[in-house]
Structure 1
Amino acid sequence: MALSRTDLLKAAQNFCDAFSQKKDVDTILSYFSTGHKISAIEYGTPTLAPFLGRSFTGISEVKQYFELIGSLLSYKDVEFFEYVVDSEAMKVSVKGKGTFTWQSTGKTWNEVFTYTLDFDNELKVVRYQVWADSGTAYLARIGELHCESGVAKLRDEAGT
C-alpha cells in the first residue's frame, strides 16, 4: 500500500526540521523505524572522513553515526528545499544547505547536500542516505581548507 504524497512529505519535513533545529540524537532516532532493519550511509571514500562510505546498520550503529557526526562537525543555518516525493517507492529526496565546521580545525564551509529517505508504512525512516561534499570535509579535517566568499579552495603550490 502506497502512502500519500502529503503524508510522506510531512514525515520527511519533520525529520529534516529536527536535524536543522539541532535536536538531540535520541530525538533524531525517534524518526526511525523500530519494526524494520534501519540503516544510514553517507557516500564517499572512507579515508576522507570516518563517517563516510560505510553502512551503519541497526539502531545502535545509526546512533553511532549521528554521535560521530556530532563529535566531528558543527553546523548552522541548515535549511531544506526541493523535496521530491515518490509515494510508490515510499521515498523522499531533498536538497539541504548550510554552513559546516570541522570542530578540531575550526575550518568552515558552505555546502549543498542531498538526503534520500526511505519510509515504512508507519512513516518512519528505514534508510537514510546522504550525498555531500566529502572532498571539502576532508580538506577541513586536515586543516587545508581555504575559503573566499564561502567558496572552498585548496592553496596552490605558491601558497596563495
Structure 2
Amino acid sequence: MLLSRQNLIQATQAFCDAFANKADISTILTYFSKTTTIIAFEHGEPALVPFLGRAFEGFEGVKRYFEIIGTLLAYHDLKFSEFIVDTEARKVSVKGEGIFTWLETMESWDETFTYVLDFDEEAKVVRYQVWADTGAAYLASIGKLDDIRKEIRC
C-alpha cells in the first residue's frame, strides 16, 4: 500500500513528539511495527559509546536501545524540521536539534542530528536510524568535552 506524504509526515511527527516529550519506552515502542522485524541503529564507531554502531534488532533489541539511551543521556528542547519524504520507499528523513547531557559527567552539548525512519504499510516504524554528534557524546562520556572547549577558547 502506498502511504501518502501526509501519512508519513504525521507518523514521523507523532514518533518525534513522543521522543521529544520523553514518553516512556512502552509508548515509544507503540510507534514500531508489530508485523515486521524492527531495527534501531545509531551510526558511529561502536568503541565510543554503547549505543553506537550496533544493530538493535527485534522488539527486545529496540527496547534495549532506548533503555541504554535513557540510562546514559538526558535531553531537552528537542525540535524537528526539514522533513524529506519518499512515499515509494515509505521513508522519511528529519532534522532534529536539542541539548543533550551525559548523565554520569553532566556535560552537555547542543546537537543537530538526523533520523531516517522506514515505515511498514501501516505507517509503523520498521527501521530507525540516527546520525548524530558522536564526538561530543564520546567526549562528554569521559568527562573531557568541557576541557576541550576551554582549550579551544584559549
Question: 2:22 aligned with 1:26, yes or no?
Answer: no
Gap regions ≥5 residues in structure 1: none
Counting aligned pairs with the same residue, the percent is 58
Measured in 2, the distance between the counterparts of 1:37 and 1:122 equals: 14
Measured in 1, the distance between the counterparts of 2:150 and 2:68 equals: 26
Spell out, residue by residue over 1:64-93, the C-alpha distance to the aligned partner (whole angstroms, 9 max, x if none).
000000000000000100011110100000
* 1:153 aligned partner: 149
Displacement of 1:154: 6.8
Question: 2:127 aligned with 1:127, yes or no?
Answer: yes
Measured in 1, the distance between the counterparts of 2:150 and 2:36 equals: 43
Q: Secondary structure at the match of 2:151?
A: coil
* 1:48 aligned partner: 48
> After TM superposition, what 4+ stretches of structure 1 lie above 6 angstroms from structure 2?
none
Gap regions ≥5 residues in structure 2: none
Displacement of 1:47: 1.0
Question: 2:62 aligned with 1:66, yes or no?
Answer: no
* 1:79 aligned partner: 79
- State the AA in 2 paired with 1:136: A
Aligned residues: 154
- State the AA in 2 paired with 1:137: A
* 1:140 aligned partner: 140
Greater share of helix residues, 1 or 2? 2
* 1:15 aligned partner: 15
CA RMSD of aligned residues (A): 1.6
TM-score by length of 1: 0.92
- State the AA in 1 paired with 2:34: T
Q: Secondary structure at the match of 2:129?
A: strand
* 1:88 aligned partner: 88
Measured in 2, the distance between the counterparts of 1:154 and 1:47 equals: 25
Q: Secondary structure at the match of 1:81?
A: strand
Measured in 2, the distance between the counterparts of 1:93 and 1:99 equals: 20
- State the AA in 1 paired with 2:151: R
Maintained 8 Å contact 1:48/1:138: yes
Displacement of 1:153: 3.2
Maintained 8 Å contact 1:46/1:52: yes
Maintained 8 Å contact 1:118/1:127: yes
Displacement of 1:131: 0.1
Measured in 2, the distance between the counterparts of 1:121 and 1:67 equals: 27
